[in-house]
């Protein structure tokens, strides 16, 4: 249900025996990470109480143009709040009102104000569903861009059997999730992201590392997931956590471990983003026992770690490759050299000279550098920086724009 995380769902509920299913539907939407607001028709209240639905949705349920104190229930704001609207169950009566634009209740008035996608889950008796008028209405609603969630077979309240029962709540949620997922710009794409520091052990208690928190890499992983991608996040030591159905999180400590895992996935990904602060060197010798500090000086011989980003560039075929450069001087020139030397599509530059940029901060200030252009951005939360980076990727590779 990843596509529903953070979505605002406006659930329109009409009066029919299937109305009782909306309680289960709301619970599934909430469990999937969505927010739900309900509008009921007065007839729907005869089948399930507003108290039940407001308790489950954690939002007030409205059914009339004014509340008990005669304050106006603003249908325009309700419509603007929604990422999409679902009318379930949608009776034959409501379908006909939707066609002619009859706004005789709050649900219909809100529906006519909505500019968001509308899903419809019909439910009615067999003859009503098979009537030419109903078929025409459903066809016209489909032609208007609405998405019909087909009813399912089973016994009806009348005792008849047929394919007119409102789809089961779990099937509605799955249908909408899959439909939304397929609209996302990175649907069916694989994204590999490296994040955080690496720790190169000297002995069992000491290591060579850096101050990277992994925040930038984790925010990019969240953004990629929200755009519909399957994400492989290879993370060095960090206190951050992230879970998602489309996320494979691999935790490592050393540069060699990061290299080995990254190369396992690299051939099969569409986008690779190397944001980890990988140690360039590691101790030549690992001491199995804690080194005693008996001398005034202590020498550590270092050897080069594998260059993950350079290897990515050398083996690049179809992948869109993004690197990061954290610089302290000659920033742009150093970043351009790295861009060319490592065969990158673009490089994200941040400078320790800029306030709000670099390690540990919740903000960052970046420039995106390609062979032909430099785009500079203001200081922003790293979540917004991640969107800027993916907008650049989508505009360059997929001729699209992120909306995560």
CA 103 from centre of chain: 35
Catalytic site includes residue 210: yes
Q: Are the C-beta atoms of residues 229 and 246 closer than 8 Å to each other?
A: yes
Catalytic residue among 93, 210, 334, 361: 210
Alpha helix segments (H runs only) across 33-160: 50-57, 75-81, 92-100, 106-113, 126-130, 132-143
Give me the sign of the Cα torsion angle 282, 286, 291, 296: negative
| Of residues 43, 170, 182, 42, the one with CA closest to residue 117 | 182
Instruction: Give me the DSSP letters along 337-368.
Output: HHHHHTT-SEEEEEETTSTT-SSS-SEE--EE
The set of residues, in sequence order, having a beta carbon less than 8 Å from that of 335 and lying 6+ positions away, is 325, 327, 347, 349, 367, 369
H or E stretch covering 376: strand 374-376
Rounded CA-CA distance 168/143 in Å is 25
Q: Which of the 8 DSSP states describes residue 72?
A: B
Rounded CA-CA distance 388/222 in Å is 13
Active site residues: 210
């Amino acid at each position: 249900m990843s596509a529903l995380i953070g979505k605002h769902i406006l659930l329109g509920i009409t009066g029919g025996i299937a109305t009782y299913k909306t309680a289960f539907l709301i619970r599934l939407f909430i469990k999937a990470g969505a927010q739900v607001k309900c509008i009921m028709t007065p007839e729907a209240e005869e089948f399930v109480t507003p108290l039940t639905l407001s308790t489950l949705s954690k939002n007030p349920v409205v059914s009339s143009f004014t509340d008990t104190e005669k304050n106006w229930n603003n249908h325009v704001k309700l419509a603007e709040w929604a990422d999409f609207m679902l009318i379930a169950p949608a009776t034959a009566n409501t379908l006909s009102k939707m066609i002619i634009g009859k706004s005789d209740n709050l649900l219909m008035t809100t529906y006519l104000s909505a500019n968001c996608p509308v899903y419809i889950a019909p439910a009615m008796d067999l003859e009503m569903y098979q009537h030419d008028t109903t078929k025409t209405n459903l066809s016209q609603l489909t032609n208007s861009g609405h998405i019909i969630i087909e009813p399912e077979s089973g016994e009806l309240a009348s005792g008849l059997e047929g394919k007119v029962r409102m789809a089961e709540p779990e099937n509605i949620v799955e249908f909408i999730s899959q439909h939304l997922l397929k609209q996302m710009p990175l649907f069916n794409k694989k994204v590999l992201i490296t994040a955080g520091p690496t720790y190169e052990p000297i002995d069992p208690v000491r290591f060579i590392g850096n101050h990277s928190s992994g925040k930038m890499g984790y925010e990019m992983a969240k953004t990629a997931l929200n755009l519909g991608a399957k994400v492989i996040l290879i993370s060095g030591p960090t206190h951050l956590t992230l879970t998602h159905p489309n996320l494979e999180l691999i935790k490592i400590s050393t540069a060699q471990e990061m290299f080995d895992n990254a190369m396992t996935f690299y051939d099969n990904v569409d986008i690779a983003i190397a944001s980890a602060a990988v140690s360039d060197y590691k101790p030549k010798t690992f001491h199995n026992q804690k080194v005693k500090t008996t001398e005034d000086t202590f020498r550590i011989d270092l050897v080069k770690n594998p260059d993950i980003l350079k290897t990515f560039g050398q083996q690049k075929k179809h992948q869109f490759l993004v690197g990061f450069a954290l610089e302290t001087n000659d920033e742009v020139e150093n970043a351009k050299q790295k861009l060319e030397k490592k065969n990158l599509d673009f490089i994200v530059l941040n400078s320790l000279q800029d306030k709000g940029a670099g390690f540990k901060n919740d903000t960052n200030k970046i420039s995106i550098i390609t062979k032909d252009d430099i785009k500079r951005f203001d200081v922003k939360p790293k979540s917004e920086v991640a969107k800027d980076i993916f907008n650049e990727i989508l505009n360059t590779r997929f001729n699209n724009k992120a909306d995560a």
